[in-house]
Structure formats: structure tokens, C-alpha cells
């Protein structure tokens, strides 16, 4: 069993999500896998844009509507999956996903909850929730939950906690 921990962060706006993504991106290693979960419009793709920046990718990822995966060159290659239209593991097997999940790059997977049993134990799980709006709250608040190995979480926790109030 890998030792996992969870960090919760409340973000105020899109810029903070980009910033969090960048901090995460800088802390990743070859072989890192990120499973992203959250409703449509939660900010998964925004977070991936930040992650890409942190990985030294020059391009800005967008939602890969017609393909399951887009690939970007950076300090470490980024494989950006969007499983919105995927309903079974079979479709992932069909594109040889394991080469990207278990290779030398970083895999960031939107709609990770669409598939079961393809993620290894060390997967970083990020859930983005739009909180129930109360009158004085802004519509751009997001509650983020980040689960990862204790070792990995430590490597960026301090930076993240300084950047945002947790
Ligand atoms: N705190 C926030 N973080 C991320 N996106 C936000 C935030 N507040 C508002 N937004 C808006 O919500 C939308 C999120 O879109 P996107 O990242 O494509 O969502 P998803 O990929 O989860 O479907 C964007 O239009 C963005 O501007
Ligand atoms: Mg998206």
C-alpha cells in the first residue's frame, strides 16, 4: 500500500486555478499520472493549462474535442486525455493508453471517473467542486481536493499553502 494524503484548497478565481496548476506542474516527475474529476465547467481544462505551464509547455492545451488525447512537448512530455465521450476501458485500450500512462511523460486525464481500474496506485487524484452558492459568494470559487502519495504531496504543499489560504 502506498501512503496517500489529501490536501484541500479553496480557490477564488480562474487565475488561482492556473497558478495551482503551475505549482503542481513544477512538482511532477516522468510517469506522474493525474486523474481529474469534476462537472462540466468546473475548471479541469483550466487546471491542465496551468500544469502545462509548470511543465514548460509553450502551447496552451484546450479541450481535445475530437480526440481522446493530445500530446505536448515540455520539460517532460504532457499527455492530455479527455474521456468525456469515453464510456468504457475498451476505448482506452484501443488507443494503447498504457504507453502514455506508464511511459516517461505526465498523463493528465479529464473525466477520470469514466473509467475504472486503469489508474495505478500512485495516481494523483484531483477533484474540483463548484460549491453551493451563497449570496455573497463569487461564482468563481472552487473547492479542490488533491490526493497523492505523502512524499509527492509534501514536495509542493508548503508552496501551495503559501500561495492560497487553506
Ligand atoms: N476558479 C475557477 N477555476 C477554473 N475555472 C473557472 C473558475 N472560475 C470560473 N471559471 C470558468 O469556468 C470555466 C471552466 O472551464 P473548463 O476548464 O473548460 O472546465 P472543465 O474542463 O472542467 O469542463 C472557464 O470558463 C473558466 O473561466
Ligand atoms: Mg475540460
pLDDT tens, position by position, 32-83? 999 999 999 999 999 999 999 999 999 999 986 778 999 999 999 999 999 9
Strand partners, 71: 79
Ligand nearest to the CA of 144: 1
Domain of 120, CATH number, reads: 3.40.50.300
Residue 43 Cβ < 6 Å to ligand 1: yes
Looking at residue 158, its pLDDT comes to: 80
Burial class from Cβ neighbours inside 10 Å (0-12, 13-18, 19+) for residue 5 reads middle
- Pocket test residue of 46, 108, 164 for ligand 1, highest count of atoms within 8 A of CB: 46
**Percentage of the chain modeled with pLDDT above 70:** 96
Residue 128 included in any domain = yes
For 88, the domain range is 4-160
Nearest-CA residue for ligand 1 atom 8 is 140
Residue 165 included in any domain = no
pLDDT higher than 60, residue 166: no
pTM for the full model? 0.95
Number of domains present in the structure of the chain? 1
Residue 8 included in any domain = yes
Residue 166 included in any domain = no
CA distance 11 to 146: 13
Burial class from Cβ neighbours inside 10 Å (0-12, 13-18, 19+) for residue 118 reads middle
Residue 61 Cβ < 6 Å to ligand 1: no
Amino acid at each position: 500500500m502506498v501512503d496517500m494524503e489529501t490536501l484541500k484548497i479553496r480557490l477564488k478565481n480562474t487565475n488561482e486555478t492556473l497558478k495551482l496548476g503551475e505549482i503542481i506542474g513544477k512538482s511532477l516527475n516522468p510517469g506522474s499520472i493525474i486523474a481529474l474529476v469534476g462537472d462540466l465547467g468546473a475548471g479541469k481544462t483550466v487546471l491542465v493549462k496551468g500544469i502545462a505551464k509548470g511543465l514548460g509547455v509553450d502551447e496552451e492545451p484546450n479541450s481535445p474535442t475530437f480526440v481522446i488525447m493530445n500530446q505536448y512537448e515540455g520539460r517532460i512530455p504532457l499527455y492530455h486525455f479527455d474521456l468525456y465521450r469515453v464510456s468504457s476501458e475498451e476505448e482506452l485500450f484501443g488507443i494503447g493508453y498504457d504507453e502514455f500512462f506508464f511511459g516517461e511523460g505526465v498523463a493528465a486525464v479529464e473525466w477520470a471517473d469514466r473509467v475504472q481500474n486503469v489508474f495505478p496506485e500512485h495516481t494523483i487524484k484531483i477533484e474540483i467542486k463548484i460549491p453551493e452558492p451563497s449570496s455573497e459568494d463569487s461564482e468563481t470559487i472552487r473547492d479542490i481536493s488533491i490526493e497523492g502519495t505523502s512524499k509527492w504531496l509534501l514536495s509542493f504543499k508548503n508552496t501551495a499553502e503559501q500561495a492560497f489560504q487553506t
